[in-house]
Amino acid sequence: MSKHKHRDRSWAPAPAPLPADAQVIDNHTHVASVVPFSRAMSHEAVEKGQDPVPVYSVDELLDQAAAVGVSGVIDSGCELPHLMTAVDMAREHDNVHAALAIHPNESVRHGHRAVPGPDGLPVRYQPWHDTSFEDALAEVERLARAYPRQVVAIGETGMDLFRTGEGAKEIQREAFRAHIALAKELGLPMQIHDRDAHREVIETLLADGAPERTVFHSYSGDAEMAEICREQGWYLSFSGTVSYKGNDGIRESLRIVGLDHAMVETDAPYLTPMPYRGRTNAPYLIPYTLQAMADALDLPLEEVARGTRATTREVYGV
Ligand SMILES: [Zn+2]
């Protein structure tokens, strides 16, 4: 089989740098996870007879981002062992801040609560899942209080009903409610993970009262949902999915809420923007997503960059 039939695992080329007066923040990413992810891509490439893929350190990934005008990131630590990783990154880098939570798919594993697992399959428990959900969330709260300069949000929390059974759904809902209460108590913004759970997430937010600054990370809803978000004053953060063919509803949603309620993110290492979908994502690829947003809004790239930057400052204070 010819080489080009294999999936390309190499890094996407760097986009043109954003102007100095239009720098942005990647408001939701997992930079620490990009390192092992790209190592796995490299191994896979070698196995397929391709060239190895360079494995960059966190510092190198941040430098590459800065070189194209992505001047900082908000890194989400959303599994118990990753909480401190995100806080440490933020302590070591002035341009890194942390968002902390127990991810919905993690919330069902803590204390071995979900039987069967969230995807109908046996749960893949890890040693840290021996910790109860309550104790795991207490660690989120402890770190948020101990490092107020570094921890700028609670997230990602929410609900993930992709292949999730009823039992897991209710456990997720309770975990989400506990995060909503915590974000409000701490006066922090909240980043929502909503996968196949639009109705449940909105119901829960309206029933409990959403935090003042509520962000749908990697927004995946349609125009109807965007209207609700606009009425409620909620924020939408757009990942590479805004550039994917067929996602007209996401682009329409951006037009509905407008730039003063829109932000940009990678959710790296996943959701790489077009035309590099399928490669490893990293914060330096943000300008491609901004371009897709600019096309959807029919505005210059610089204006979209400045708009999302201002929204990030308003929401997170960074
Ligand atoms: Zn994420």
User: Does any domain span residue 77?
Assistant: yes
130 annotated as ligand-binding: no
Going from the Cα of 30 to the center of ligand 1, the distance in angstroms, rounded, reads 6
Flag whether 8 is in a domain.
Answer: no
Residue 11 lies in a domain: no
CA of 167 to the centre of ligand 1 (A): 23
Number of domains in the chain: 1
Question: Which residues hold their Cβ within 5 A of ligand 1, which is an ion?
Answer: 156, 267
Instruction: Say if 2 falls within a structural domain.
Output: no
Structure confidence at residue 1 (pLDDT) = 40
* Predicted local distance difference test score (pLDDT) of residue 115: 60
Q: Do residues 217 and 237 touch, judged by C-beta distance below 8 A?
A: yes
Rounded distance from Cα 231 to ligand 1 centre (Å): 25
| 196 is an annotated ligand-binding site residue | no
| CA gyration radius, the chain | 19
156 in a labelled binding site: yes
Asked if residue 4 is part of any domain, the answer here is no
Residue 249 CA to ligand 1 center (angstroms) comes to 21
C-alpha of residue 216 to centroid of ligand 1, in Å: 11
Residue 38 lies in a domain: yes
Tens digit of pLDDT per residue, the chain (318 long)? 444 456 888 999 999 999 999 999 999 999 999 999 999 999 999 999 999 999 999 999 999 999 999 999 999 999 999 999 999 999 999 999 999 999 999 998 898 777 665 556 667 789 999 999 999 999 999 999 999 999 999 999 999 988 777 778 899 999 999 999 999 999 999 999 999 999 999 999 999 999 999 999 999 999 999 999 999 999 999 999 999 999 999 999 999 999 999 999 999 999 999 999 999 999 999 999 999 999 999 999 999 999 999 999 999 999
Q: Was 129 annotated as part of a binding site?
A: no
pLDDT in the model for residue 300: 98
What is the side-by-side order of every strand in the sheet holding 190-195?
Answer: 24-29, 70-77, 96-100, 151-160, 190-195, 214-216, 235-238, 262-264
C-alpha to C-alpha distance for 294 and 18, rounded to whole angstroms: 13
2: CA distance to ligand 1 center in Å?
35
Residue where the block lists tokens 């959710």: 267
Q: Ligand 1 centre and the CA of 159: distance in Å?
A: 13
Domain that holds residue 81: 23-316
Instruction: Identify whether 7 is part of a domain.
Output: no
Neighbours of 139 (CB within 10 A): 15
CATH (domain of 118): 3.20.20.140
